[in-house]
Amino acid sequence: MTIVTDAAGQTPDCAQDLAIVLDPARYADGTVLDLAGPLADGAVVLDVIVPARAPWSAVVTKGDVVTIVDVGGNQSGDCLLYNAHDTGERYSVPDTITWDGNVYVRTGTILRSNDGNPLATVIANEIDRQDTIGGACGKESNTLRYGYHTASEHGCRENFLGEASKYGMGARDIVSNLNWFMNVPIEADGALGIVDGISAPGKRVAFRAEMDVLVLISNCPQMNNPCNGFNPTPLRVIVTAGV
């Protein structure tokens, strides 16, 4: 049996066979996979690999830090945050942008809820900017943008719906989201697009929970635009205890 570890000798958990999920031969030629490690000190509470195209969720305790690793590079990790004790309070794009005065998410950005409360704070970020305006792909938007031949392809919306159902939530609870590692530049005239990524294998972002939060992640399955470099790869999620 092959044991897969990071540079520190840590082996993440995985719902599938980890050695298979992290086999570069499963991905495009030349794919490099870098597990990196946490961006925060503290005991590791949770350490998982989210396979390509798969969803993941967990409740993160106030003060704990979530590090998300772009294992294969330029892989969009769509993300939603909820108050773990009242999911009617959830991540709000307009509140986050308005309070921060910036459409990009960077180190220091406070991720706010629809009540204006801090859900989490980005404490470290290894790429220039993170996106929160590009939204999530889904079957309906895929068919509208790319044609009805894509109707069988599930998207992040379907991943979110599957994870949300575990917590008693449904379609009305899926709101506009964060897109970790997705590159959505905004031009001076307000035009935007989803273009080639600015991340790389092993790049990371980390946020600290400012309340107990339910975190939903969709490791984006999109293959019709460059948000994943047309090569979906795994993400690693590491939760470390607050210090």
User: Residue 121: which of 58, 13, 217, 210 has the closest Cα?
Assistant: 210
- Per-domain residue ranges of the chain: 13-240
Starting at the edge strand found earlier in the chain, the sheet holding 203-209 runs 13-14, 44-50, 235-240, 65-70, 203-209, 118-125, 110-112
One digit per residue, the tens of pLDDT, for the chain of length 243 reads 456 888 888 999 999 999 999 999 999 999 999 999 999 999 999 999 999 999 999 999 999 999 999 999 999 999 999 999 999 999 999 999 999 999 999 999 999 999 999 999 999 999 999 999 989 887 777 676 767 777 776 889 999 999 999 999 999 999 999 999 999 988 888 887 788 889 999 999 999 999 999 999 999 998 777 889 999 999 999 999 997
pLDDT of residue 144: 67
pLDDT of residue 1: 40
pLDDT of residue 94: 97
Q: Considering just the CA atoms, what is the radius of gyration of the chain in Å?
A: 17
Cα distances from 2 to residues 5, 17, 30, 226, in angstroms, run 10, 10, 21, 32
